[in-house]
Structure 1
Amino acid sequence: MNDPAVLTPLATPPAAPSRPAPADFAGSQALQARFHAAIPGGAHTYAKGDDQFPEFMAPYLTHGAGCRVWDVDGHEFIEYGMGLRAVTLGHAYPPVVAAAQRELVRGTNLGRPTVLELETAEEFLDFTRAGDMVKFTKNGSDATTAAVKLARAYTGRPLAAICRDHPFFSVDDWFIGASPMAAGVPAAVRALTVGFRYNDLPSVEALFAEHSGRVACLLLEPEKDVPPAPGFLEGLRRLCDAEGCLLIFDEIITGFRWHNHGAQGLYGVRPDLSAWGKALANGLALAALCGRREIMERGGLHHPHERVFLLSTTYGAETHALAAARAVMRTYAAEPVVAHLRTQGERLRQGLEQAARDQGVAEHFRLMGPGCCLYYGTRDAEGQPSQAFRTLFLQETLSRGLMLPSLVISYAHSAAVVDETVERVHAALGVYRRALEDGIGQHLLGRAVKPVFRTHN
């Protein structure tokens, strides 16, 4: 494969493809101090922080269209972050933009529910078939936290059980207290969250035996990097029913990416509650909690039980976001979005795996997850997971016009774009191979990237 041209325009072309010049990102570097002076961490999302990108190649972006984004230095990138998996149709997807624009001029936040709220709720329930009632909010953390609160109120039990093999469920204390970034969360709160393992029904049985009658809910993503083992999700359903606790699916990522009905529809196992977000409005701020009527109604007005303050957000039903969601659902209903994500994701997987084999690094650069939601792992010469080699890979792909914090496909990634991506990654993996052979220090500029969840900077 030919090594494609590096980013244009470039202030000073690098001496060699493996040593891109820091001056190429001078505009972004000049903004770093301002970002960190105004925003803790320099970004409103930890996964987008400077520590997640090479030291001298952390671009600040200006805009995006389709599967491409542009930075302050004028560089164009084919992007595979896609708003942390929130943008499935592509940046600034015209039907979604048009739908949101129509509502913006009609008022975005009125003093009583709009008919649009009802119509969007009905359309969501019909489209996803995920429950009897739905309540909208602005982000996935609110939805999962509301699900846990509802489960505790419904069951009268204190403990929330989370899947330890899944990385993130909420910014709120009940989850963050169980993570390595637990600073500020009281020990008493941390003790209320317990764990189980994915594809491990005995771990769930042991959990219920240890905390008999105290677990309000099991919360997990129905699928992450590995598919559910035969009978696993069905087994969870059976165990929860027997124990009297609620089964909650986090469909924040899987919803609108795995299947029109979410992963629960794909695998035919219905939870009691499910949280949706990300792609629901193609990147606009909208999430949803959905579930069985008798449980959801605890947050409503038509029941004799103690009231649950479920979700009450000033911005939860902003009209432009709801209109965007309707445009998303109608696009999915009319076009083969999910099939495209799977087909082009598998094309990307096969191409990158072949590139890794061609360059002799297949044991060091590995792809994980289903085609519709790929990510990669990097290993050093000893075969150990390596943040330094992840940084080198990011460095070399950024220099070739690719932004690859992950490998998230969208409806805007055509077969031609995928093939172009594979060609550029092929060249970047050639540098990876040389770094394995003669030491990464001869190729890597600056410090290595760091995990988001860590106890100290």
Structure 2
Amino acid sequence: MTKPFEKSFEKSVAANKRLHDLIPGGAHTYAKGEDQFPEDLAPVIARGDGAHVWDVDGNEYIEYGSGLRAVSLGHCHPKVLEAVRRELDRGTNFVRPSIIELEAAERFLTSVPTAEMVKFSKNGSDVTTAAVKLARAVTGRRLVAICSDHAFFSIDDWFIARTEMSAGIPGEIADLTVGFPYGDLAAAEEMLRRHDGEVACLILEAATQQDPPAGYLEGLRDLAHRYGALLIFDEMITGFRFAESGAQGLYGVTPDLSTFGKALGNGFAVSALAGRRELMERGGLRDSRERVFLLSTTHGAETHSLAAAMAVMDVYAQEGIAARLHELGDELAAGVRAAAAAAGVQDHVLVRGRASNLVFATLDANGVPSQAYRTLFLRELILGGVIGPSFVVSSALTADDIARTVEVVAKACSEYRAALELGSPDPWLGGRPVKPVFRRYG
């Protein structure tokens, strides 16, 4: 049952109110919003070090899903900070390209050898939208086909128009985006046949919670090409976290274009559009065809962010970070599943996904996903000193961190069992349930 706080959250509650007074939504990313956490249990972070963060009240947490999966090496990684500090003393932005732009491009294409050219930007949405624009220019077609089973591709209209938060976007734009399901080649072909000659590209994550069905990615690439469309992999999550070479290297399927971000900068703002030379050159100066205004961002070549990316790629290669992420995730998943089984809630508290990218599901007595039970679970984790919307690991986690997390999960599962027996989690919520990000109204 709900009990008095074991921690003080007074300063976080006050800071959240001030955030909402000055910033729409109280955060700069909806997924970090106060509504994603239990009422009055949305810590405002003051600092981080490794896999731990401290809030403005001084509470310490083991953190998962750091920076929406971006900080895969942990906060304040010394090699990344060393590279960033070195560049800050040399200047951050110039009237002409810096030599580090060349060095970063060479380093990226060494890590992702399936790509032939790369252009850097700051946000994932920058580069996914650039990929879509380039595909439309190359094919002369209007429609974009998105994998409808994948959660997010861009803040831009071509994607957001298809969500529950489409206010402000003309309906005609939504009509330019169509969907296809993951893992079903027959359905993808039916979509391409229905819109024959109209689809510019198919965009998807190569994998999310499970590996792709055998032959699926190869088959999808062949289908796209047969119908004159391009294949785009969104590697925001899979890039580096699944493998240093991205999902395209891991699964051995080369897309026409791909987009990277998140883990690439370990929290610093950098993203990348990569792909085949003949396509990427359409946004350059050496192509005689109609020009494509591909990416032109003032801050896309900030030297310190590119230095961070280069350091990240070096650390991944030298220290086997992708393998470590999988080892840590396997250890955590086994511990959480054992704790859930011991409490008798193994059918209700689930861990899913690739070991380097774990999420948890909270199901009610009928096996249906429940925001109320998610609230109970998150609340018990936070009160126990564990914070995160997922169990996505960073390489900074220690064996002690994993063991402590499993202890906290075990207690949360005990409370979960009590709620199931009562028939309602309401006494454990402490306020309104957490909410889905994409919803039409408040």
Q: Which residue in 2 is equivalent to 1:307?
A: 291
Q: Does 1:394 align with 2:378?
A: yes
The equivalent position to 1:381 in structure 2, one of 358, 362, 365, is 365
Query: Cα deviation per residue 1:187-241 (whole Å; 9 max; x = unaligned)?
Result: 1111000000000101111011100011000000000112100110010011112
What displacement does 1:28 show? Answer: 0.7
What displacement does 1:30 show? Answer: 1.3
Q: Which residue in 2 is equivalent to 1:450?
A: 435
SS in 1 for 2:259: strand
Map 1:118-157; keep pairs closer than 5 Å. 118-157=102-141
SS in 2 for 1:78: strand
SS in 2 for 1:260: coil
Map 1:164-313; keep pairs closer than 5 Å. 164-313=148-297
Query: Cα deviation per residue 1:102-132 (whole Å; 9 max; x = unaligned)?
Result: 1111110111001100011011011111311
Q: Which residue in 1 is equivalent to 2:90?
A: 106
Counterpart code for 1:139: N
Q: Which residue in 2 is equivalent to 1:85?
A: 69
Taking the aligned partners of 2:26 and 2:316, their CA distance within structure 1 comes to 35
Determine what percentage of the aligned residue pairs are the same residue. 56
SS in 1 for 2:159: helix
SS in 2 for 1:449: coil
The equivalent position to 2:426 in structure 1, one of 421, 429, 441, is 441
Taking the aligned partners of 2:428 and 2:296, their CA distance within structure 1 comes to 52
What displacement does 1:23 show? Answer: 7.5
Taking the aligned partners of 1:72 and 1:110, their CA distance within structure 2 comes to 37
SS in 2 for 1:290: strand
Query: Cα deviation per residue 1:21-60 (whole Å; 9 max; x = unaligned)?
Result: 3972111111222101110000000000000001021110
Q: Which residue in 1 is equivalent to 2:411?
A: 427
Does the 8 Å CA contact 1:35/1:43 hold for their aligned counterparts? yes
Query: Where do 5+ consecutive residues of structure 2 fail to align?
Result: none
Taking the aligned partners of 1:156 and 1:401, their CA distance within structure 2 comes to 53
Counterpart code for 1:247: L
SS in 2 for 1:24: coil
Counterpart code for 2:388: L
Counterpart code for 2:138: Y
TM-score calculated relative to the size of structure 2: 0.98
Taking the aligned partners of 1:23 and 1:223, their CA distance within structure 2 comes to 39
Q: Which residue in 1 is equivalent to 2:355?
A: 371
Q: Which residue in 1 is equivalent to 2:9?
A: 25
Query: Cα deviation per residue 1:135-188 (whole Å; 9 max; x = unaligned)?
Result: 000010000000000000000000000000000000000000011111111111
SS in 2 for 1:344: helix
Does the 8 Å CA contact 1:22/1:57 hold for their aligned counterparts? no
SS in 2 for 1:170: coil
Taking the aligned partners of 1:58 and 1:32, their CA distance within structure 2 comes to 8
What displacement does 1:454 show? Answer: 0.5
Q: Which residue in 2 is equivalent to 1:10?
A: none
What displacement does 1:404 show? Answer: 2.5
SS in 1 for 2:408: helix
Taking the aligned partners of 1:244 and 1:126, their CA distance within structure 2 comes to 29
What displacement does 1:435 show? Answer: 1.0
Counterpart code for 2:159: F
Counterpart code for 1:390: R
How many residue pairs match? The answer is 441
Taking the aligned partners of 1:310 and 1:383, their CA distance within structure 2 comes to 46
What displacement does 1:440 show? Answer: 1.5
Query: Cα deviation per residue 1:342-394 (whole Å; 9 max; x = unaligned)?
Result: 01101111110111000000111111111100001111122221101101101
Counterpart code for 1:441: D
TM-score calculated relative to the size of structure 1: 0.95
What displacement does 1:416 show? Answer: 2.4
SS in 2 for 1:454: coil
What displacement does 1:442 show? Answer: 2.3
The equivalent position to 1:37 in structure 2, one of 14, 17, 21, is 21
Query: Cα deviation per residue 1:321-353 (whole Å; 9 max; x = unaligned)?
Result: 001111111111111101100011011111101
Distance 1:214 1:95, change over 3 A: same
What displacement does 1:441 show? Answer: 2.2
Map 1:29-68; keep pairs closer than 5 Å. 29-68=13-52
Q: CA RMSD in A?
A: 1.1
What displacement does 1:252 show? Answer: 0.5
Q: Does 1:344 align with 2:325?
A: no
Query: Cα deviation per residue 1:237-265 (whole Å; 9 max; x = unaligned)?
Result: 11112111100000011001001100010
Does the 8 Å CA contact 1:22/1:56 hold for their aligned counterparts? no
